[in-house]
Structure 1
Amino acid sequence: VNPLTGKQVSIKTGDPRDFKSYNELYEAFKTQLNYIVNQKILVSNYIDRMFAKYSPATFLSVVIDDCITNGKDYYNGGPRYNTNYIQCTGLGTVTDSLSTLKKHVFEKKNFSMDIILKAVAKNFEGEEILRQTIINNTPFYGNDDDYADSIALQVYNDLFEAIDGKPNTKGESFHLNMLSTTCHVYFGKVMGATPNGRLAHKSISDGTSPSHGCDTNGPSAVIKSLTKIDQVKSGGTLLNQRFLPSLLKRDEDIMKLGNLVRSYFALGGHHIQFNIVDTATLYAAQENPEDYKDLLVRMAGYSDYFNDMNADLQQEVIDRTENESF
């Protein structure tokens, strides 16, 4: 049931209040995950069939290898390569929510599932003590903590298994990617609060990045967490990091950043990108945009002028963890 609308939008997997163990909770989550992936594939295949039949891409087909040779349109299996990728995000948000429930509800029994569900339903209004307990006393993804990272690994592998190899309409198959671009901002806008303390309508985590502000052990711990998952399984991953400008003033600091990038790739990372800007500057640009016309930020797979972005995208950049050291 969508908690914002009250409508049944998926299959029934039981009332979470009745779950006796974390494993029972996770099996329900996995069942929902597989159902949603299958629905996504059905819809994607339908859309591809409609494009092939009613909206051929003539010019695109001319410039894509083998469409002319095969005598088929781009949308109808003409290209040499016809794989489909399902764009996924929110690994940090999902992991931290599951970690919260596993640690506090099933292991330490600090509070019940009912209490969590009621707090989430009212966006933690009047429950700030509970919310801060979660934020400050839960193992979160991105800190080289195997408790949380093992959950991320399980979620990632189950997502991969749910997607990879499912047939598409063009004789090939679907694969996973974790390149969120900006869809994580929109997804957050239409979501209620989540058990990890994230408030309603706030952005969920991007790509394979940790949840905003939850990576508290530095950038090296982040890359160690992310490289515990096999990124080769994915068609791409995304990791965003933000540093204070003061952290990169000396040549030796630039060398440290270079070593961080090399280490990430050596450990199996795919894609890492940075913003070098402090929070105060971003807030000042919001207050006085005329003074910051040339302020560029890295949003996702692209850079943009900060003041050309809408308020939601600006806030997402501001919310990213501000690293003060390597």
Structure 2
Amino acid sequence: GKLDQHLEPFYEKDIEEGRLTREEARELLENLWIQFNNQPAPPKVGITLKESGTYTDFCNLNTGALRPDGTSGVSDVSYLILEVMDEMKLLQPSSNVQISRKSPEKFLREALKVSRKGWGQPAMYNSEAILAELSYLGKTVDDARESGICSGCVEVGVAGKEAYVLTGYLNIPKVFELAMNRGYDHYTDKQVGIDVGDFTKMTTYEEVFDAFHQELQYVVDVKVAGNNLIERMYMEFMPVPLLSVMSDDCIKVGKDYNAGGARYNTSYIQCVGIATITDSLAAMKHNVFEEKTMTMQELLDACEADFENYEEIYDRVYNDTPKYGNDDEYADTLLRDVAASLQEVIAGRPTPKGSKTVVEFLPTTCHVYFGQVMEASPNGRHKGIPLPDGISPEKGADRNGPTAVIKSASKIDQTKTGGALLNQKFTPSVVAGEAGITNMASLVRSYFALDGHHIQFNVIDRDTLLKAQKHPKEYENLIVRVAGYSDYFNNLEKALQDEIISRTEQAFG
């Protein structure tokens, strides 16, 4: 929750009455940070480890958010939290700052000075976008202003008043892969989707997109049916009396938290890989149907061969096709179309306990696992290579700088989601000095003016990461931003390390 606002009246009273100094308050907060790190998440195994390979417990603090009356919530406690965060450099709590139009510029700059040190905290969130999202999801203004980011990544919720449940991840480009193969999955050698037609016989791009939409509808129907079955099991067999006592309206309506007793009930489906499918659709539309530089059969054959002996096709789809992340209206129009399809088949679907299903763009670490179970994609992504995280562009596709990235990302209507994660990577030299902070602050303000939900930074160079991978004992304390959270680089599996290393290193100007 909003720790600075919760502590502020106690802090001011103790300071005023001489019971506490600012330095003593800082030391108390540092002790609290240590206690957070004495509560590690339980080890994960099997498929759960592959989908979310982290041991952080996802406790997220909102700092500097709007107050219930709509004014800026930045106080001396907010700055204390930034100082503690900077001093302790611990994984938990996951700390974010909420930046609104009313936030003092000093607060944003101080937060970015911490972020610039390269260990992944704090993340930046848009207060106005959060309020718009919560309002879209049916929260009152008063309840929306009391809350913010209520878990360890990017999802919005009303703390103490809402049962919001993340129901697992949806691999969007895998759905397209199934459509390309008439519902057949080469990874499992099984027919797992529906036959939406032979792509080689389709004569227009619109037929291709319609085939994807049909496959998406089928896959989401299966996923929602599974979600509802699990939800009914929780309703009947897994009551949570303590959580129910602590959540508004459960006692009032006489229902358990897991049975729909909370004031608000929301189910999120976390969508992954929207950049990959956008670029894949662009590759087909541009090269097969418009420029006619290749046939559909040739492109499908190239994907099946992982582009081996198809160098010319690879070069065209990878280097000579419009890509998301470059403020290219051709690609970004297709992005909007995919986002609209996701909204159409997911948003608003009811669940047994009365939840509303919501689209969210959050991968945790499963973008790595999802890539491992896929063939090569029409955009030139090789077999087994991780998908991009959140709404971040494909690695190496964003070639026009960070401002082009935020302009492309903002073309998704993020105010009608439960959150959308965007990672950016800079080398330390790019953000050095006061000019570096000014550029970062301008980037954040600009993205949030475009209704972006969230942005976060890795500030580290490729060579350091390669050395850490080769000599892990020399870099035991190296922390990086993974998705919506930070983790020790050495704790990450090699595939995830490689994915972070391969992210585009952006520069201003």
TM > 0.5 fold call? yes
Counterpart in the other structure of 1:318: 501
Q: Is the 8 A contact 1:85 1:235 kept in 2?
A: yes
* Alignment deviations for residues 81-129 of structure 1 (CA, whole Å, 9 cap, x no partner): 1111111111100000000000111111111111111111122222233
Q: Is the 8 A contact 2:402 2:507 kept in 1?
A: no
1:73-92 mapped onto 2 (5 Å cutoff): 73-92=256-275
Q: How far apart are the structure 2 equivalents of 1:60 and 1:127?
A: 57
Residue of 491, 494, 499 corresponding to 1:308: 491
Q: How far apart are the structure 1 equivalents of 2:419 and 2:396?
A: 23
Q: Is the 8 A contact 1:140 1:214 kept in 2?
A: yes
* Alignment deviations for residues 150-188 of structure 1 (CA, whole Å, 9 cap, x no partner): 000111011111111111111232111112221211111
Q: CA deviation at 1:68?
A: 2.8
Q: CA deviation at 1:265?
A: 0.3
Q: Is the 8 A contact 1:184 1:203 kept in 2?
A: yes
Q: How far apart are the structure 1 equivalents of 2:379 and 2:506?
A: 21
Counterpart in the other structure of 2:149: none
Counterpart in the other structure of 2:238: 55
Counterpart in the other structure of 1:216: 399
Unaligned runs of 5+ in 1: none
Structure exhibiting the larger radius of gyration computed from Cα positions: 2
- SS of residue paired to 2:265: coil
1:25-36 mapped onto 2 (5 Å cutoff): 25-36=208-219
Counterpart in the other structure of 2:87: none
* Alignment deviations for residues 223-272 of structure 1 (CA, whole Å, 9 cap, x no partner): 01111121101110011110011101120111111100010000110011
2:349 aligned with 1:177:
no
2:384 aligned with 1:197:
no
Counterpart in the other structure of 1:103: 286
Q: Percent identity?
A: 50
Counterpart in the other structure of 2:326: 143
Counterpart in the other structure of 1:299: 482
Q: CA deviation at 1:48?
A: 0.4
Counterpart in the other structure of 1:5: 188
Q: How far apart are the structure 2 equivalents of 1:56 and 1:186?
A: 32
Counterpart in the other structure of 2:248: 65
Counterpart in the other structure of 1:286: 469
Unaligned runs of 5+ in 2: 1-183
- SS of residue paired to 1:83: strand
1:250-269 mapped onto 2 (5 Å cutoff): 250-269=433-452
Q: CA RMSD in A?
A: 1.3
Q: CA deviation at 1:139?
A: 0.2
Structure (1 or 2) with the greater strand fraction: 2
* TM-score normalised over the length of structure 2: 0.63
Residue of 187, 203, 206 corresponding to 2:370: 187
Counterpart in the other structure of 2:430: 247
Q: CA deviation at 1:44?
A: 0.6
Which stretch shifts more, 49-58 or 239-248? 49-58
Q: CA deviation at 1:76?
A: 0.8
1:91 partner amino acid? I
1:102-181 mapped onto 2 (5 Å cutoff): 102-181=285-364
Q: How far apart are the structure 2 equivalents of 1:124 and 1:194?
A: 10
Q: How far apart are the structure 1 equivalents of 2:508 and 2:318?
A: 22
1:212 partner amino acid? K
Q: Is the 8 A contact 2:235 2:353 kept in 1?
A: no
1:292 partner amino acid? Y
Q: Is the 8 A contact 1:186 1:203 kept in 2?
A: yes
- SS of residue paired to 1:84: strand
Residue of 204, 222, 231 corresponding to 1:39: 222
Q: Is the 8 A contact 2:276 2:394 kept in 1?
A: yes
Q: Is the 8 A contact 1:153 1:229 kept in 2?
A: yes
Stretches of 4+ aligned residues off by more than 6 angstroms: none
Task: Count how many residue pairs are aligned between Structure 1 and Structure 2.
Answer: 326
Which stretch shifts more, 304-313 or 59-68? 59-68
2:245 partner amino acid? V
